[in-house]
Amino acid sequence: MKKTKVMSISFILMLVFCMSGVSLNVHAQEDRKQIDGSYLTDESESIGYDTKITRGEDLLAGYSKCVRLPNGHLYVGGTTIACQTVERIGLAVIIERAKEEDTSWEGYDGWILHEENTDRIASSKELEVEGGYYYRVKCIHSANNDGSDSFTDGVFIE
């Protein structure tokens, strides 16, 4: 009986400890600088997933990706996935950048792709970029008449 009570108290203490750690982590994220929904981060990679607000019958998912590479290079791209083969699927990839003191992102590069009679489209590039900026990737996804967007956090390039 006493062993069960000790195990129960240990479990409760462990649970309280874990919960306090989670709340501290959430609080720490709120303190980070954010521009237009994207946190500015020193992480080497960021992936953004599409918002589900405008998804309809044809669009399944979409994501954006931004990865810091050595020597001032950046890997950027995105993917759009439909629920089934659609007449027209699209992906617009927009690269934006900002300095830490900025309040908005500025356009840097981008491209648009469309395919017909398929269920997915993806595109990526490696870019040489100027240091001292945070870069993010924003994608616009479409499958027939369904649309959505995704964006990454800002990845810093020295």
Q: What is the pLDDT along the chain (158 residues), one digit of tens a residue?
A: 555 444 444 444 444 444 444 333 444 455 789 999 999 999 999 999 997 655 578 999 999 999 999 999 999 999 999 999 999 999 999 999 999 999 999 999 999 999 999 999 999 999 999 999 999 999 999 999 999 999 999 999 99
Q: What is the number of structural domains in the chain? A: 2
pLDDT of residue 32: 84
In this structure, the answer to whether residues 57 and 119 fall within a common structural domain is yes
In this structure, the answer to whether residues 59 and 132 fall within a common structural domain is yes
Q: What is the CA radius of gyration of the chain?
A: 21
Half-sphere exposure of 133 (CA within 13 A, CB side): 18
In this structure, the answer to whether residues 27 and 48 fall within a common structural domain is no
pTM: 0.79
Cα–Cα dist 155/124, whole Å: 16
Cα–Cα distance list, 76 to 3, 9, 47, 142 (Å): 55, 49, 10, 19
In this structure, the answer to whether residues 53 and 13 fall within a common structural domain is no
Beta strand 154-157 with 38-41 is: parallel
Domain that holds residue 110: 35-157
Give the CATH number, domain containing residue 121: 2.60.40
In this structure, the answer to whether residues 44 and 25 fall within a common structural domain is no
In this structure, the answer to whether residues 100 and 151 fall within a common structural domain is yes
pLDDT of residue 18: 43
In this structure, the answer to whether residues 25 and 44 fall within a common structural domain is no
In this structure, the answer to whether residues 104 and 41 fall within a common structural domain is yes
